[in-house]
């Protein structure tokens, strides 16, 4: 059962990633432009086997009327175009894929009934498309089975010779099952690339933190000592008799102290920059922590793809909120599931964290939050013009936290969210939260 669940998980995970339009993540799944071109080619090349039944329509030994031939060619062309289209853009839209598959099956049924036993083999293509287009593995298996049954029924209706029926029955079933495994391998390879990317991001983050610590530890104390010694030297020189040489040395020492103080400040700012959290790193960390605590995480792929694409200060504020919220879920919620979503609106970006835990006591709803971590969330969001709310989840169950930061459109790339704009809005918490 565990192995079966693991095999089914890629489809469930990818169901969340594929929406009404292709995004950066699904484009990678498709293999980029080259992958699309190759998929068009390898989807179309197998249609070459339909040449024989089409050629039979124009056989002089068995003449047919021009209308009969024209309708048959039109149906076959429509079938081929729809088949190639569906297999080439299977990753873009699940609903459209299912509708297209029904249309493909309808065309195959019409062709088989209208033009006889020579055309029932067209269900091989319908079975192949069903195995590749339908995301859920169980539904794909049922669809391939339905195609096999439909092929047998139609073969009986149009009186397909038994030898041809059995010769084509295995391809109808097995090619559909093979396409399910082929698509599953594509999805698993894509998830493997994602996992490697997450590991690389974690390693880079750890290395940045190590460099920041080393830089601060190795240079901070030395620069502080240089600053202190230069100030002491200036004080001692001030006790000596005044002379141009003493004044020159004191000025030089003052410059040394000023430069060392500025350098120390620059290093601290650099270290602070290195330590600035990001959504990508924090969701990876949260996933590891929640899984260790036995809490299932349903996270949004946008947390990875959107990270680093808007104002770093605004992202850092959201990342701190994600870190604190994950800590609260682990320590206080008693939840079994946690859901994280990143919603991109025209003027703001919102992070929502919800769980199915014990929620907020009724006596504290509407009160002022008292948790230090949640006060820090509110303050960080206020600094970037954001807003913060927390309270009971949907239906009054569990706990939900929403943190939002403002965005504005980039004039050079209208329609895409740009860096966060700082405003003067404050962001007080408007519901009671766990401490």
331 and 352 housed in the same domain: yes
Name the residue with higher pLDDT: 233 or 424: 233
88 and 171 housed in the same domain: yes
93 and 215 housed in the same domain: no
| Full residue range of the structural domain in which residue 252 is found | 207-274
Q: Is the pLDDT at 277 greater than 50, yes or no?
A: yes
| Number of other CB atoms surrounding residue 243 within 10 Å | 9
pLDDT in tens, 146-181: 888 988 898 888 888 878 788 888 888 888 888 888
In a domain, 428, yes or no: no
Last residue of one domain, picked from the residues 274, 293, 308 = 274
In a domain, 120, yes or no: yes
Strongest mean pLDDT among 8-12, 29-33, 86-90, 133-137: 133-137
Q: Is the pLDDT at 366 greater than 50, yes or no?
A: no
Question: What whole-number distance in Å separates Cα of residue 304 and Cα of residue 430?
Answer: 28
| Number of other CB atoms surrounding residue 144 within 10 Å | 26
Last residue of one domain, picked from the residues 250, 274, 298 = 274
In a domain, 430, yes or no: no
Orientation of helix 123-133 relative to helix 137-157, angle to 10°: 170
Q: Is the pLDDT at 351 greater than 90, yes or no?
A: yes
Name the residue with higher pLDDT: 135 or 280: 280
In a domain, 213, yes or no: yes
Question: What whole-number distance in Å separates Cα of residue 271 and Cα of residue 229?
Answer: 24
In a domain, 432, yes or no: no
Q: Is the pLDDT at 423 greater than 80, yes or no?
A: no
In a domain, 81, yes or no: yes
Q: What is the dihedral of CA 259, 265, 269, 275, to 10 degrees?
A: 120
264 and 283 housed in the same domain: no
**pLDDT bracket for residue 353 (50, 70, 90):** very high
- Indicate the length of the chain as a whole number: 435
Which residues lie below 8 Å from residue 165, measured CB to CB, with a gap of 6+?
120, 152, 155
The pLDDT value given to residue 6 = 37
Q: Is the pLDDT at 413 greater than 50, yes or no?
A: no
∠ CA(235), CA(237), CA(239), 5° rounding?
Answer: 80
251 and 211 housed in the same domain: yes
262 and 287 housed in the same domain: no
37 and 159 housed in the same domain: yes
∠ CA(261), CA(266), CA(269), 5° rounding?
Answer: 125
CATH code, 321: 3.30.565.10
Share of residues in the chain with pLDDT > 90 (%): 5
In a domain, 416, yes or no: no
76 and 223 housed in the same domain: no
The pLDDT value given to residue 97 = 76
Structural domains in the chain (count): 3
Q: Is the pLDDT at 28 greater than 60, yes or no?
A: no
The pLDDT value given to residue 402 = 92
Question: What whole-number distance in Å separates Cα of residue 325 and Cα of residue 374?
Answer: 8
Last residue of one domain, picked from the residues 227, 258, 274 = 274
The pTM for the full model equals 0.45
Question: What whole-number distance in Å separates Cα of residue 256 and Cα of residue 236?
Answer: 15
270 and 283 housed in the same domain: no
pLDDT in tens, 297-340: 999 888 888 888 888 888 888 988 898 888 888 887 888 899 99
108 and 255 housed in the same domain: no
10 and 140 housed in the same domain: yes
311 and 213 housed in the same domain: no
In a domain, 417, yes or no: no
């Amino acid at each position: 059962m565990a192995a079966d669940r693991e095999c089914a998980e890629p489809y469930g995970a990818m169901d969340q990633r594929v929406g009404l339009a292709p995004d950066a993540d699904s484009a990678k799944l498709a293999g980029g432009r080259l992958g699309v071109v190759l998929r068009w080619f390898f989807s179309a090349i197998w249609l070459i086997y339909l040449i024989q039944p089409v050629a039979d329509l124009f056989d002089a030994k068995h003449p047919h009327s021009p209308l009969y031939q024209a309708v048959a060619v039109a149906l076959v062309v429509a079938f081929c175009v729809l088949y190639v289209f569906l297999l080439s853009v299977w990753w873009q839209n699940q609903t459209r894929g299912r509708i297209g598959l029904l249309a493909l099956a309808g065309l195959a049924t019409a062709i088989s009934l209208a033009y006889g036993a020579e055309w029932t083999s067209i269900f091989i293509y319908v079975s192949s498309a069903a195995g590749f287009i339908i995301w859920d593995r169980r539904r794909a298996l049922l669809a391939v089975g339905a195609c096999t049954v439909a092929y047998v029924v139609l073969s009986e209706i149009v009186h397909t010779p038994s030898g041809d029926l059995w010769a084509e029955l295995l391809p109808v079933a097995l090619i559909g099952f093979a396409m399910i495994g082929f698509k599953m391998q594509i999805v698993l390879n894509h998830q493997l690339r994602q996992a490697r990317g997450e590991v690389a991001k974690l390693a880079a983050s750890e290395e940045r933190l190590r460099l920041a610590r080393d830089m601060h530890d190795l240079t901070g104390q030395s620069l502080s000592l240089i600053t202190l010694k230069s100030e002491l030297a200036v004080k001692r020189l001030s006790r000596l008799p005044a002379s141009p040489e003493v004044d020159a040395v004191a000025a030089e020492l003052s410059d040394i102290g000023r430069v060392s103080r500025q350098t120390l400040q620059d290093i601290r700012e650099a270290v602070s920059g290195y330590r600035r959290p990001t959504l990508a790193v924090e969701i990876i960390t949260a996933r590891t922590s929640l899984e260790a605590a036995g809490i299932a995480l349903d996270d949004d792929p946008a947390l990875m793809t959107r990270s680093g694409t808007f104002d770093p200060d605004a992202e850092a504020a959201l990342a701190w909120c994600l870190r604190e919220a994950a800590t609260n879920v682990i320590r206080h919620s008693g939840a079994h599931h946690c859901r994280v979503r990143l919603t991109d609106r025209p003027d703001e970006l919102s992070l929502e964290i919800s769980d199915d835990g014990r929620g907020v006591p009724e006596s504290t709803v509407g009160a002022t939050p008292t948790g230090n971590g949640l006060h820090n969330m509110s303050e960080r969001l206020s600094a970037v013009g954001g807003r913060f709310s927390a309270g009971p989840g949907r239906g009054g169950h569990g706990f939900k936290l929403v943190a939002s930061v403002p965005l504005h459109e980039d004039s050079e790339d209208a329609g895409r969210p740009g860096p966060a704009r700082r405003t003067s809005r404050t962001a007080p918490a408007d519901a009671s939260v766990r401490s």
